[in-house]
Amino acid sequence: MLEWHCEQYGQSSTHAAFDGGYAFRDNLACAKELGVKHAVFSKKRGLKTEDMTPSPWIFTRLRRFRAGVKAGISWLKRCFGLAR
C-alpha cells in the first residue's frame, strides 16, 4: 500500500499507522526505506517504540487515530449493515 501511495502521489506519507498483524522488523524497515518517518503498529510485537517513532506523543496520537478509524468502520457496519 505504501508503494501504491508513492506511485499515485509522487511521495511517501510521513506518518502511517498499521494493524498489529504487520508488526515485523522487515515491514518497519521497508516503511522507513520508502520515507515514512513515523510508522506505528497497533501492537508492538517485539518492536520498540523508539524504533517506530522517536516521539512517544506521536506514537500515541497515531495509535489513537487508527483506533478512531476502526471505530467509525465498526459503527457503519453495525448501524447501516455495511459490509465488504
CA 52 remoteness from chain centre: 10
In 3-state terms the chain splits into helix, strand, coil percentages (rounded to 5) of 60, 10, 30
Residues of the chain with pLDDT under 70: 84
The pTM (predicted TM-score) of the whole model is: 0.83
Cell 502511517 belongs to: 16
Q: What is the DSSP letter of 21?
A: G
Return d(Cα 45, Cα 34) in angstroms, integer: 22
Q: What is the DSSP letter of 18?
A: E
Res 28: pLDDT: 95
Res 82: pLDDT: 86
Res 83: pLDDT: 79
